Amino acid sequence: MKNKNFKKYFKQYEFSNVWAMLKNNQRDPHICNAHFKDKLVVITGATSGIGRITAHKFASQGAHLLCINRNLQKSEQLKQEIEEQHMVSCSYKIADLSILADIHRVADELAQLNSPIDVLIHNAGVYLTKKEVTGDGLEKVLVVHYLSSFIINYKLRQKLKQQKQARIILINSEGHRFAAWGLQVSDLNWDKRRYSGLKSYGSAKLAQLQTMLLFNEQFKNSGVSIVAMHPGAVKSDTGQENGVIYKWFKRNMLDKTLKPTNISAEAIYYLGVSDELDNMGGKFFNLTTQEEPAPPALDYEEAKRLWPISLKLAQLDEDRTDSSIPK
């Protein structure tokens, strides 16, 4: 399938941006020492890897947690661990973020919460070397990495704006660069192209960056900011759904090159809490360093094309009363 945007993006790539990314990959995150006492942090996928350590980090600074996880037993264990160690509350909702009905349910429940959500962290993720199709007929990586955050943000817009202050952090990835020539919006589901783990991951992360541009516009002057970040190349539990060869490769090769997840947690805490982020909505960070993402991630026109397609895939009704939404 030919990519019509190849020429456009090719001209926009600058070596200096790639060089900056390579240098940023070596940097440590800024540290924020401020407390976050009695604030509410909602985080998806808090039962393993980056999400788990990040939940501990926020709790250690006094924040209460509401985790959106798929595994009951792991959620109960995390709750006990956090409440005992940090003397804050850690509640959870069980939802499989690859299932549209579950995503809609938790999004509605979050929208009806009485208390303000101070920080919303979209962290849950999955890496699949082989294509999996969900019961909704959607490619799984697209749903977990992209549509779940899209639906939750869409349904929480009004609540967050009414609060007049909130931060949304998209745990994105330098992997968005795997979709180097942009999205195939007519085949987001990988029905017409050969599937690859890296490309589907890259496309889902790119889709998230593109619609961040539009969410950011909708949140302008509302006190809500939305940012995306690469959490470092860190040793987590990712990839467990794949076959033995991938798992062997990860354990014996990849993991040896990866950093500890506490750098991700420090960076996410900084992005969630530091005053320096107050006017940084719509930006991409490599840990805590602001960075230029790949050209397709800044393509506002493509983002506007993606928006109605995402609404349709996500089974969301277009909100005609909200004038800030792209038509």
Binding site for ligand NAP (CB under 6 A): 45, 47-51, 69-71, 74, 96-98, 123-126, 144, 171, 173, 230-231, 233-234, 236-238
User: In this complex, which beta carbon is closest to ligand NAP, that of residue 161 or of residue 264?
Assistant: 264
For residues 215 and 167, what is the distance between their CA atoms, to the nearest angstrom?
12
* 3-class DSSP assignment, residue 139: strand
User: In this complex, which beta carbon is closest to ligand NAP, that of residue 188 or of residue 228?
Assistant: 228
Least Å distance between CB 126 and ligand NAP?
A: 4
For tokens 């941006």, name the residue: 17
Residues 112-133: b if buried by 16+ CB within 10 A, e if exposed: eeeeebbbbbbbbbbbbbebee
What's 193's DSSP letter?
A: S
The pair of structure tokens assigned to 191 is: 């029905």
User: In this complex, which beta carbon is closest to ligand NAP, that of residue 57 or of residue 70?
Assistant: 70
Least Å distance between CB 158 and ligand NAP?
A: 24
Least Å distance between CB 257 and ligand NAP?
A: 10
User: In this complex, which beta carbon is closest to ligand NAP, that of residue 231 or of residue 293?
Assistant: 231
User: In this complex, which beta carbon is closest to ligand NAP, that of residue 126 or of residue 179?
Assistant: 126
Least Å distance between CB 173 and ligand NAP?
A: 4
What's 85's DSSP letter?
A: H
The pair of structure tokens assigned to 246 is: 């991938």
Least Å distance between CB 167 and ligand NAP?
A: 17
The residue nearest ligand NAP at its CB is 49
Close Cβ partners of 149 (under 8 Å, ≥ 6 residues apart): 44, 122, 170, 208
Beta strands in the chain (DSSP E): 40-44, 64-69, 90-94, 119-122, 166-171, 224-230, 284-286, 289-291
User: In this complex, which beta carbon is closest to ligand NAP, that of residue 40 or of residue 106?
Assistant: 106
Least Å distance between CB 187 and ligand NAP?
A: 21
Least Å distance between CB 125 and ligand NAP?
A: 3
Residues 282-312: b if buried by 16+ CB within 10 A, e if exposed: bbbbbbbbebbbbbbbbbeebbeebbeebbe
Calculate the alpha carbon distances from 97 to 29, 103, 118, 189, 204 in Å: 29, 6, 21, 16, 14
For residues 79 and 188, what is the distance between their CA atoms, to the nearest angstrom?
36
User: In this complex, which beta carbon is closest to ligand NAP, that of residue 70 or of residue 161?
Assistant: 70
